[in-house]
Amino acid sequence: MADELPFALDQGFDRLYGLEVTDAGDGAMRGTVPVRDQIKQPAGLVHGGIYAAIAESLSTIGTALAVIDDGKTAVGLSNLTSFLRPITEGTINAQARARHRGRTTWVWEVELTDDRGRLCAMTRVTVAIRERVSARAPRAPARTA
């Protein structure tokens, strides 16, 4: 799947915690993260930040795929994650759906489940759409007094 994306997923934070994008479609994304000790909190549960990171990455990637050909990029604007039940082993499975596709923002809902299909966390992510840095006009130098 990652070979089909127009940007690399094999570096940075997504690589660090183990995100694998398994499906990318029009307004729908899926991904998995294997549970291991490095992503758990001291109590043995998957750290809440991992759920939020998965949701934001899938939402941002999904938005970016839709706007990249227009010279745009996508960046996370807000992320609200509710934790319903812990995951301690197996795989975190995520399914993201675009619920609003605006000109400057998209809103996604992401469900995160365990290997038994139980809902463990839900996230709403708002993604901002911006001009790609390379597509922007150069900034004027700062004025000094």
Positions annotated as catalytic residues are 56
Q: Quick count: other Cβ atoms within 10 Å of Cβ 36?
A: 11
In terms of DSSP H, where are the helices of the chain? Answer: 12-17, 48-67
- Cα gap 25→110, rounded to integer Å: 14
134 contact partners, CB below 8 Å, separation of at least 6: none
Contact at 8 Å (CB) between 29 and 61?
A: yes
